[in-house]
Amino acid sequence: MQDGSQIFVPDSFIALFQGRNQRLRQPLNEIAQRYELCEDLAQMLVEQAQILYHQSAPSESAILQTIYSGLQTPDAGISAEEARWVVLRLSELLEWKAPELLLPSPAEDGAA
């Protein structure tokens, strides 16, 4: 990461903040802060996902889809794109197969 920060923000996360012309829509320090939030969230969800898996024994995909749905609520404090990234990161941390996670259309996520 540039600007004196020692945080490495992966390209997959930076891509969430790039326009079609590959230019960043937010300053790097803000992206780094959002990354820290999302990475911490993914790390904290590892234990919760494991508990759900061992208690109710649904499929790994079903657990990840449920978490994804929960992260898309307005109270979650993250964007739909960030929610998708968090769940994909969570699947990496758990070494589970990543499910297909569709982003809501602008009409569905409240953007008007």
For the entire predicted model, the pTM comes to: 0.83
Neighbours of 29 (CB within 10 A): 14
Answer whether 55's CB lies under 8 Å from 28's CB: no
Which one, of 35, 37, 33, lies nearest residue 14 by Cα?
35
Residue 107 has pLDDT above 70, yes or no: no
Quickly list DSSP for 63-111.
Answer: HHHHHHHHHTSGGG-S-HHHHHHHHHHHHHHHT-PPPP-PPPPTTTTT-
User: What's the pLDDT tens digit per position in 16-64?
Assistant: 999 888 899 999 999 999 999 999 999 999 999 999 998 986 789 999 9
Lowest mean pLDDT among 13-27, 65-79, 97-111: 97-111
Q: Is the pLDDT of residue 87 over 60?
A: yes
- Residues 15, 26: Cα–Cα separation, whole Å: 11
Residue 20, pLDDT score: 87
pLDDT of residue 5: 62
- Domain range list for the chain: 11-94
